[in-house]
Amino acid sequence: MTVFQDLLKAYIPTESSGQASSRHMADKVLQEGPMPQKVLDLGCGDGVSFYYFAEVAPSAEWTGIDIEPSEIVAGRIGDKGKYLVYDGTHIPFEDNAFDLIFSNQVFEHVRYPATVLQEARRVLKPGHYFVGSTSNLEPYHAHSLWNYTPYGFSLLVEEAGLELLELRPRVDAFTMLLARVLGNPTVMYRWWEKESPVNRLIGLAGRIKGKDHAWINATKLLFCGQFVFLIRKPAD
């Protein structure tokens, strides 16, 4: 644990240790302002994030991109916002086009993640943010290609010329594995949005041992099924 925590020390929050989600991280960025005018959902799937941004950033122009064919894309909700098909590698927009990039559980499906991160850097405005989540110990699903350790993902982000600011745990791997064994019953998905059982146990163990938020976050990240990230493009 000490080595793992030391490797990620710069990215592990010290002020809180609750389970997070992509939307929680987007909320943080939006609260700090300024309000984005152009938002890109990278790998938008069914497009449900349109409704989230319509509520929290109503003045923003939402654009979603994804590949086809895809069962998730085929289930796209409504016809709101702007939607484009792309090749899964080259983002079809000019440099510095977006104020915020959002990407929920996408990078485990991306064939060339290093290239897509470089493309995200290109289309994001300097000093602006890229928020989202991806998989660590999640079972295979929907043509997934990779699982990333938080450390490995941090190296990819750095190599793309982006700044990783924060990593937070999402649902734990044990809960995800149990859900898969049980056939993914709907009732299990509540743990994706609220503190999952193993994450609760880790938090309790940390408090009993007198550990700080950084230790609890690092332990949750070590055993997480998914994790959340906050990235910034360096200012010019």
Give yes or no for residue 13 having a pLDDT over 70.
Answer: yes
Q: Give the integer Cα–Cα distance in Å for 173 and 120.
A: 28
- Closest to 166 in 3D by CA, of 202, 210, 218: 218
* Residue 77 confidence (pLDDT): 54
pLDDT digits (tens, 9 = 90+) for 59-100: 999 999 999 766 555 555 556 788 888 999 999 999 999 999
* Residue 26 confidence (pLDDT): 97
| Contact between residue 175 and residue 184 where contact means Cβ atoms under 8 Å apart | no
Tell me what the mean pLDDT of segment 208-222 comes to.
97
Query: Helix count (H) and strand count (E) of the chain?
Result: 10, 7
Q: Which residues pair with 231 in a beta bridge?
A: 130, 164
Q: Give the integer Cα–Cα distance in Å for 15 and 6.
A: 17
Strands 226-232 and 124-135: antiparallel
Give yes or no for residue 212 having a pLDDT over 70.
Answer: yes
- Predicted model pTM: 0.94
Give yes or no for residue 219 having a pLDDT over 70.
Answer: yes
Query: For the chain, what are the domain ranges?
Result: 2-232
What's the distance, Cα to Cα, between the start and end of the chain in Å?
36
Q: The domain 2-232 belongs to what CATH superfamily?
A: Vaccinia Virus protein VP39 (3.40.50.150)
